[in-house]
Amino acid sequence: METADVRVLLAPAISFACSGLVFLTGRSVFWRRFWSLGAAALKFVVVLSMLPAALTGKTFVWNLIEFTPGIGITFRADALGMFFALVSSALWLITTVYAIGYMEPEHAKVRFFGFFALCVSTTVGVAFAENLLTLFVFYETLTICTYPLVIHEETPEALRAGRKYLAYTLVGGACILLGSALTYQIAGTLTLSRPGVLPAAADPRSLAVLFVTLVAGFGVKAAVMPLHGWLPSAMVAPTPVSALLHAVAVVKVGAFGVLRVVYNVFGIELLKRLGYTVPLAYLAAFTIIAGSVAAMFQDNLKRRLAYSTVSQLSYIVLGAALLTPAAASAAVAHIANQAFAKITMFFAAGAIQRTTGKTQVHELGGVGHQMPWTMAAFTVASLSFVGVPLFAGFITKWYLSVGAFEAGMWWFALVMVASSLLNAAYWLPIVYLAFFKGPEGQEVQRREAKPVLLVPTIACAAWVVVLGTTSDVPGMPFALARAAVEFVFKM
């Protein structure tokens, strides 16, 4: 059931307006904070207010403008889009609080908060895109808007990372543009509101080219190996940027795009027949393992987080590629599960850096005594990644394994086991180091992070537990993920 409702437009428009106001009046500290926090809260409320309707199967639509004849910039909040929008608007609010605390000693704060808001605006635009062209419009805008954030430090290293980021993502964008044009040529429509638009009778060669261009295009931001090179370099950005953009917005936009391609452009039935997703599943499994292995060897905490992101994102890709309902629920739910756990870790890493100046893993001995709350939150996130039950990550691993058996490819369940072990191997040593090893010959003093950094960290960690324990409670995010899956599988 579709209803016209302006709230789907408001959600991206609020943060767009916010960025304009920040650019205009942001020289004043008060107004900069006022607009950033106010818009983040307002936007979260707007998205949340659409949740009850989305859970009952209603979708809201708003046609903004006819972009080219027949194809509009149209917003549509279906279950999948709502899920993603809810995650990103909730995290924007939390990250804004954190960023206000974290960025205090930094330069160019007007630019930072202005583009920060723009990025979230475009992320929600991607979530609510009704058609592939609208999605592409916001996808590319996001690329451009994140650039000033990635190179915020303006050091030669940051500029190099920025160049690398643009090179990867713009090539990806070009692929998506071509894929969209080809989709339009084959299907005559670009809508994402159906479970698949491509006709089964289309030329299989074109379909193969289309699958490769679209998945490769979105795969760049989803950091599927070998397209992941930009992500670890982009860690030079300030921590709130890494947190929101490189654990949530930018990379999830890629993963979300893959979901859209699999579920709404090709559709489950067509892909089952074509079998293109099998190699994709292998690639994702490889990325899961290889990303984790690479993470083990990183001493810089943020780089370790980056490789862990590479590995975790491929859970979503794998879930999509298995083409079974359970795997699909895992894929959708992991958008939230990974986001909250990863952002907790980034917040903790940033808090440690700001409070103690430490950025390398080997320096972290005893930091748990210094900052017990921060490291407790970090531990919760670690356990979630390892896949311990009652934490969010377990939900993903469970459903993904079920999905692997459903698909008759049980060996992917082994990948889950291997990944759990690897995650344990690179997260738990940090926990061990922090709590059970004191820095030698020094007296440890308790020096917790500032509340403005600490509270968001703990809030996210708490939510990881909530996500891990409430997957069957109606009205919780997982119900939304189920609704999305039911639509895709026409259940």
Partner 1 sequence: MWWQWPHWLPLVVLVPLGAGVVTPAISRKSTKAAWVWAATAVAATVGASLPLVIRVAQEGPFSYTFGGWTPPYGIEFRFDEVSAFAFVVAFLGALAIVFSLRYAPHALDEARIPYYYALLLLNLAGLIGFSVTGDMFNLYVFMEIISLSGYALVAISGERIAEMAAFKYLVLGAVSSLFVLFGIGMLYGVTGTLNIADATQRLSVVADTVPVAVAVGSIVLGFMVKAALFPLHVWLPDAHAIAPSPVSAVLSGLVVKVGLVGMLRLYQVVYASRAVDLVTLNRLLTWLGAASIVMGAFFAMFQDDIKMMLAYSTISNVGYIVMGFGLASRYALVGAAVHIFNHALIKSALFLSAGAIIYQTGYRRLSDLRGVGRGMPLTGAALAVGAVSIVGIPPTAGFLCKWYIALGAFEAKNAAFGFALVFGALFIFVYYIRMLNAFYFQEPVRAEVTHVGDPPLSMLVPMWVLAALCLAMGLAGKVPLTFIEPVVTRMLAPTGG
Task: Enumerate binding residues for partner 1 (CB under 8 A).
Answer: 65-69, 73, 133, 136-137, 140-141, 144, 148, 151, 154, 159, 162-163, 166, 170-171, 174, 177-178, 181-182, 184-185, 209
Name 91's Cβ contacts closer than 8 Å, sequence gap at least 6. 244, 248, 339, 340, 343, 460
Least spacing, CB of residue 183 vs partner 1, in Å = 10
CB of 21 to partner 1, least distance (A): 16
Residue 63 DSSP code: E
Q: Is 216 exposed, middle or buried (0-12, 13-18, 19+ CB in 10 A)?
A: middle
For residues 147 and 405, which CB has a smaller minimum distance to partner 1 in the complex? 147
User: Please, which residue, 206 or 300, has the CB nearer to partner 1?
Assistant: 206
Q: Which region holds residue 358: left if phi is over 0, alpha if psi is between -120 and 50, else beta?
A: beta
Minimum distance between the CB of residue 162 and partner 1, rounded to whole angstroms? 8
- If the CB atoms of residues 76 and 342 are measured against partner 1, the closer one turns out to be 76
Place of tokens 């190099």: 160
Query: Closest CB to partner 1 among 171 and 200?
Result: 171
Q: How far is the CB of 69 from partner 1 (least distance, A)?
A: 5
Cβ of residue 31: shortest distance to partner 1, in angstroms?
17
In whole angstroms, give the CA distance from residue 383 to residue 454: 19
Q: Which is nearer to partner 1, 23 or 399 (CB)?
A: 23
* Least distance (Å) between residue 179 CB and partner 1: 10
* Long-range contacts, stretch 436-445, CB < 8 angstroms, 24+ apart: 436/368, 437/365, 437/366, 438/365, 438/366, 438/369, 439/365, 439/366, 440/365, 442/366, 444/366, 444/369, 444/370, 445/370
- Determine the Cα angle at 290 with ends 289 and 294, to 5°: 120
- CA separation for the pair 190, 334 (Å, rounded): 26
CB of 222: closest distance to partner 1 in angstroms?
20
Q: Which is nearer to partner 1, 128 or 391 (CB)?
A: 128
Closest contact distance (angstroms) between CB of 192 and partner 1 is 16
Q: Which residues sit opposite 73 in a β-bridge? A: 65
**Amino acid letter, residue 68:** T
148 or 291, CB closer to partner 1?
148
How far from 447 is each of 8, 343, 370, 436, 455, CA to CA, in Å? 44, 22, 5, 17, 15
| 77 vs 142, beta carbon nearer partner 1 | 142
C-alpha neighbours within 13 Å on the C-beta side of residue 355: 24
36, two tokens: 């950033």
